[in-house]
Amino acid sequence: MDIQVLQSIIELTRQRDLDALEYSLVATVAELLPVRAVSLCRLSDARQDELEEVLRLDIKGVANGRPDFSWRQEAAPVPVDDDLRFCLDNLQSCTSRSPSDVLRLLLPVYFENKAMGVLMLDSGEDLSRYRDLLEGLVKIYSNHLVIINESERDKLTGLLNRRTFEKKLDRLLSVQHEQLAAQRQLAGENDRRGAAPSSQAWLAMLDIDHFKNINDTFGHVYGDEVILMLSQKMRQVFRDSDLLFRFGGEEFLVVLEPLPLENARVALERFRTTMASHVFSQVGQVTVSIGFAGIKKNDYPQTILENADKALYYAKEHGRNCCYNYETLLAEGRLSKARETGSVDLF
């Protein structure tokens, strides 16, 4: 057991990105303890009183001599009951019962006395004797989580930074591919409905209009205030499951999880109007231009970026403070694939 724990700690601390770290923690707990399910939940960035399950592993026993288990990475809200509230408010582990009357151990994930989430373990037996081990693993995870966050996040806004974009996008495309394969299998090989989902992920590129004028007229301190406010509005308007990036300077990216085109347009328009309606005490009104494009599983990240950038460039050329979709512009003949616009520089 001691050697296995040591190996698990080594595996946990060698992770270099958030997704791999989360998988490593959940898998480690499932390997070491007699559990039926392990869930990792995070507090919402925008709404600190809400929990969201970001990763879950269900262990269903053994089939044909091999463990039967399933992963779920689809974000799902978690009702904060009295036990969860106690765990988060007091930063103490506690035992409760799940809705299916299974024993549940709750362990707070926190750093420097600030709650970040909860690790939930469902089991057919009392796990109290493992509490010290679990609290140690969660503390190692929390410390490593802070280190990874510092490398993946923009220092001013706390949004994901440019260097993480391609890695996050690749992972999202991989998840999409698996979900599409599952849909096809569920629908049947001869059912074409499974091959043509009505939703897809979207990449939106946002640019603050006339930002250079703001810096030149009011100074960089007020420019930073605008950037900070924009990042806060992004967290408030978009879903926790959407990926938010500061791509550089006054340019930001949003990766929207699968939605129909019109729903994606509505979400982006909501953000644009939210920004336009905010009045800064010194700067006054600040607007953003937005271009967005569909994310297809066979596209390269650079291609997706260039498509969104072309739609953004079109928005800049046609009045600013507006939002355009690349595919719609192509269909309407207002853009052509051969047209070279924008200046996306990946490296």
Give the residue numbers annotated as catalytic, written as ranges.
250
- In angstroms, the CA 171 to CA 18 distance is 12
User: Phi/psi at 279 (nearest 5 deg)?
Assistant: -110, 120
Residues 6+ apart with CB under 8 A from 293: 202, 203, 304, 307, 308, 310, 311, 325, 326, 327
The DSSP letter of residue 129 is G
- In angstroms, the CA 307 to CA 300 distance is 11
DSSP string, 27-71: HHHHHHS--SEEEEEEE-SS-TT-EEEEEEEEEEEEETTEEEEEE
Element (H, E) at 135: helix 131-152
Cα distances from 136 to residues 141, 164, 257, 303, in angstroms, run 9, 28, 34, 44
Residue 327 burial by CB count (10 A; 0-12/13-18/19+): exposed, middle or buried?
middle
On whether the CB atoms of residues 120 and 39 are closer than 8 A, the answer is yes
On whether the CB atoms of residues 33 and 57 are closer than 8 A, the answer is no
3-state secondary structure 267-329: HHHHHHHHHHHCEECCCEECCEEEEEEEECCCCCHHHHHHHHHHHHHHHHHCCCCCEEEHHHH
On whether the CB atoms of residues 33 and 123 are closer than 8 A, the answer is yes
